[in-house]
Amino acid sequence: MSLKVELVENILKPEDFVRLRNSTAFADIPIEHAKRALEGGLVNVSALYNGELVGMGRLVGDGAMYWYLQEIVVLPEYQKQGIGTQIVNYLVDYAVRNSYTGKFTSIGGVSAKGKEPFYEKRGFEIIPNGIRKMVEIK
């Protein structure tokens, strides 16, 4: 069953970024690091369910050919309800729409240990030290 969430770009606050990271296996980071990471990324997306922030994801990279998924996080009590898939699909679509090569784009990232099957189900290839999806631009 998939829980439908509202996905909103670039509203993520540093405090929420840290809180979501801390809800899972991601290392704790200072608020200032979170602020700079959000400022330096290409786009971030917040998953809202009934107005509550329940997940997030970010894209970093060159904004033309190479895109990297970062911090695809869903609060533990909302996991396995399709929210992570909605976030990943949104970010992949964003990368495809904004790629400038005219031929392909590469979307990569690093999976949390044990989460590789999540990405494989979404068309990513597991490679040494990460995940990758090559998308042909039509």
pLDDT digits 0-9 by tens, 69-125: 999 999 999 999 999 999 999 999 999 888 877 677 889 988 888 888 999 999 999
CA dihedral 49, 42, 28, 35 (to 10 degrees): -100
Instruction: Report the mean per-residue pLDDT for the chain.
Output: 91
- How far is it, in rounded angstroms, from Cα 45 to Cα 36? 16
Q: Is the dihedral angle over the CA atoms 7, 13, 19, 24 positive or is it negative?
A: positive
With a cut of 80, say whether residue 136 has pLDDT above it.
Answer: no
- Tell me which residue of 61, 86, 84 sits closest to 73, measured CA to CA: 84
pTM to 2 decimal places: 0.91
- Phi/psi zone of residue 94: left (φ > 0), alpha (ψ -120 to 50 degrees), beta? alpha
Check residue 132 and give its pLDDT: 85
Q: What CATH fold (topology level) applies to the domain 6-101?
A: Aminopeptidase (3.40.630)
User: Which range has the worst mean pLDDT, 42-51, 73-82, 129-138?
Assistant: 129-138
Check residue 64 and give its pLDDT: 87
| Amino acid identity at 87 | I
